[in-house]
């Protein structure tokens, strides 16, 4: 499919109300490829300019732009938060933005392509943002101008890093590694190491050391540290949190970023977007949009910490990718774990 065909069909899909990633998927290309096809010409609604690196310098340059809308995403989750880039820490290839309600870690070495994107939807004002993709064309981070943004400074960043002749190429994602059969995993060592954890940050290194995949570990420890739960667990938690006006933490772990948002939420029905149903969660500190139709497994997981047992609800897609994990907001504080939501409890404890 040539660039002109991609532009024409992508424009039609977007005009019909499809999200950018869904429109690209419908064409059989990645979102990054769809935008790259617009770099040498645009359809009047969408203008795309390639951005050069280094990404770390670009991230620092955004500090002078005032409030921005930051959006992190993968194939099934979109997370949005508005704020400034003034508190970010950029070292080597890792960027970290810290705040009272959010923690975002970005791995710039996995940011393959960047574009300045201006798109007009309907009769509304055009959106202006910076879109970044990995080498497979999957969006890893987007930053948009919003109310209060210093547009002159934002356009200055775009001008500084623009390189119109830059042609980004993308490649297909490799197949996932084959899992070791469950019967070959050392379940005794897994149970011992799991029980001796004092911090949830020790969990991922423990699995790497034992060569055990995350969801596989839940199967192996099912009934002891992990329990299967309903596919609707995320919706149930958000409904409980919105009813009780209680805080909840939303954790997204992705090879390209780690994001932790926390705060009180209010829940809305699936977004009115053409295509698959989405769970939409709105909060003062963040917005979340999740593809519920891609949930294949959901687990309640307990991990020992120095403050007590930390409980999460973790959901996965059919490829065993972790979509999102949720925990009680108070588990992040000094008061220790306090379960306030029924959806955090295995069936036998309710």
Q: What is the pLDDT of residues 248-267, one digit of tens each?
A: 777 776 654 444 555 555 55
- What domain range is 275 assigned to? 182-349
- Which of the listed residues 117, 132, 161 is the one where a domain comes to its end? 161
pLDDT band at 99 (very low <50, low <70, confident <90, very high): very low
Query: What percent of the chain shows pLDDT beyond 70?
Result: 72
Residue 125, both tokens? 């004002």
Query: Do 122 and 270 fall within a single domain?
Result: no
pLDDT digits (tens, 9 = 90+) for 124-181: 566 899 999 999 998 888 889 988 899 999 999 999 999 998 999 999 988 888 889 9
Query: Do 237 and 132 fall within a single domain?
Result: no
> Does residue 147 belong to any structural domain of this protein?
yes
| 267: nearest Cα among 245, 297, 251 | 245
| pLDDT of 230 strictly over 50 | yes
Query: Do 120 and 262 fall within a single domain?
Result: no
Q: Packing angle between helix 187-195 and helix 203-210, nearest 10 degrees?
A: 160
pLDDT digits (tens, 9 = 90+) for 299-337: 999 999 898 888 889 999 988 888 888 876 544 444 444
> Does residue 68 belong to any structural domain of this protein?
yes
Query: Do 244 and 289 fall within a single domain?
Result: yes
SS3 content of the chain, % helix, strand, coil (to 5): 30, 35, 35
Query: Do 45 and 8 fall within a single domain?
Result: yes
pLDDT on residue 207: 96
> Does residue 243 belong to any structural domain of this protein?
yes
Backbone angles phi, psi at 203, to 5 degrees: -65, -55
> Does residue 262 belong to any structural domain of this protein?
yes
The more confidently predicted of residues 204 and 330 is 204
pTM: 0.74
Query: Do 337 and 260 fall within a single domain?
Result: yes
pLDDT on residue 265: 56
Query: Do 80 and 192 fall within a single domain?
Result: no
| pLDDT of 276 strictly over 90 | no
Query: Do 232 and 285 fall within a single domain?
Result: yes
Q: For strand 88-91 and strand 139-145, is the pairing parallel, antiparallel, or unpaired?
A: unpaired
Query: Do 17 and 72 fall within a single domain?
Result: yes
What does the DSSP assignment read for 188-227? Answer: HHHHHHHHT-SSGGGHHHHHHHHT--HHHHHHHTBTTTEE
Residue 285, both tokens? 């500190």
pLDDT on residue 215: 94
> Does residue 242 belong to any structural domain of this protein?
yes
Of the listed ranges 46-55, 92-101, 198-207, 269-278, the one predicted with least confidence: 92-101
| 105: nearest Cα among 233, 242, 247, 261 | 261
Bridge partner residues of 257 (DSSP): 106, 254
Across residues 60-81, what is the average pLDDT?
80
Measured CA distances, 107 to 83, 86, 97, 133, 323 (Å) = 20, 18, 12, 12, 18
Across residues 210-215, what is the average pLDDT?
95
Measured CA distances, 22 to 3, 75, 121, 268 (Å) = 18, 9, 16, 21
Query: What percent of the chain shows pLDDT beyond 90?
Result: 34
The more confidently predicted of residues 225 and 98 is 225
Query: Do 153 and 276 fall within a single domain?
Result: no
The more confidently predicted of residues 276 and 214 is 214
Measured CA distances, 213 to 36, 190, 208, 218, 319 (Å) = 34, 11, 8, 9, 12
| pLDDT of 117 strictly over 80 | yes
| Size of the chain, expressed as the number of residues it contains | 350
> Does residue 97 belong to any structural domain of this protein?
no
Query: Do 115 and 212 fall within a single domain?
Result: no
> Hey, how many other C-beta atoms are within 10 angstroms of the C-beta on 222?
12
- Of 58-62, 80-84, 149-153, 340-344, which one has max mean pLDDT? 149-153
Query: Do 141 and 190 fall within a single domain?
Result: no
> Does residue 99 belong to any structural domain of this protein?
no
- Measured CA to CA, the distance from residue 310 to residue 293 in angstroms comes to 27
**Average pLDDT of every residue of the chain:** 79
> Does residue 176 belong to any structural domain of this protein?
no
Number of domains the chain contains: 2
Domain containing residue 309: CATH number: 3.40.1570.10
Give the DSSP letter of residue 270.
S
pLDDT on residue 196: 96
């Amino acid at each position: 499919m040539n660039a002109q065909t991609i532009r024409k069909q992508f424009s039609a899909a977007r005009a019909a109300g499809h999200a950018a990633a869904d429109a690209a998927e419908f064409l059989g290309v990645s979102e990054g490829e769809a935008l790259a096809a617009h770099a040498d010409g645009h359809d009047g609604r969408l203008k795309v300019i390639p951005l050069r690196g280094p990404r770390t310098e670009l991230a620092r340059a955004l500090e002078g732009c005032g409030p921005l809308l930051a959006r992190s995403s993968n194939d099934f989750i979109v997370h949005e938060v508005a704020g400034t880039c003034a508190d970010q820490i950029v070292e080597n290839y890792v960027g970290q933005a810290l705040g009272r309600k959010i923690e975002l870690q970005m791995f710039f070495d996995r940011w393959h392509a960047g574009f300045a994107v201006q798109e007009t939807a309907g009769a509304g004002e055009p959106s202006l943002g910076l879109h970044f993709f990995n080498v497979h064309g999957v969006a890893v981070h987007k930053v948009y101008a919003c109310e209060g943004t210093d547009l002159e400074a934002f356009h200055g960043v775009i001008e500084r890093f623009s390189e119109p002749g830059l042609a980004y190429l993308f490649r297909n994602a490799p197949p996932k590694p084959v899992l070791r059969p469950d019967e070959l995993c050392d379940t005794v060592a897994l149970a011992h190491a799991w029980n001796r954890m004092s911090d949830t940050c020790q969990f991922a290194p423990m699995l790497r050391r034992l060569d055990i995949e995350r969801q596989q570990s839940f199967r192996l420890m099912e009934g002891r540290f992990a329990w299967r739960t309903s596919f609707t667990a995320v919706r149930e938690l958000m409904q409980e949190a919105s009813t009780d006006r209680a805080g909840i933490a939303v954790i997204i772990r992705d090879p390209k970023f780690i994001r932790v948002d926390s705060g009180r939420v209010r829940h809305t029905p699936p977004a009115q977007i053409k295509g698959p149903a989405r769970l939409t969660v709105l909060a003062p500190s963040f917005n979340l949009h999740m593809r519920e139709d891609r949930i294949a497994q959901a687990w309640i997981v307990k991990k020992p910490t120095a403050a007590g047992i930390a409980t999460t609800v973790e959901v996965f897609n059919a490829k065993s990718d972790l979509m999102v994990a949720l925990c009680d907001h108070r588990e992040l504080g000094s008061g220790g774990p306090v379960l306030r939501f029924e959806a955090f409890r295995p069936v036998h404890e309710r």
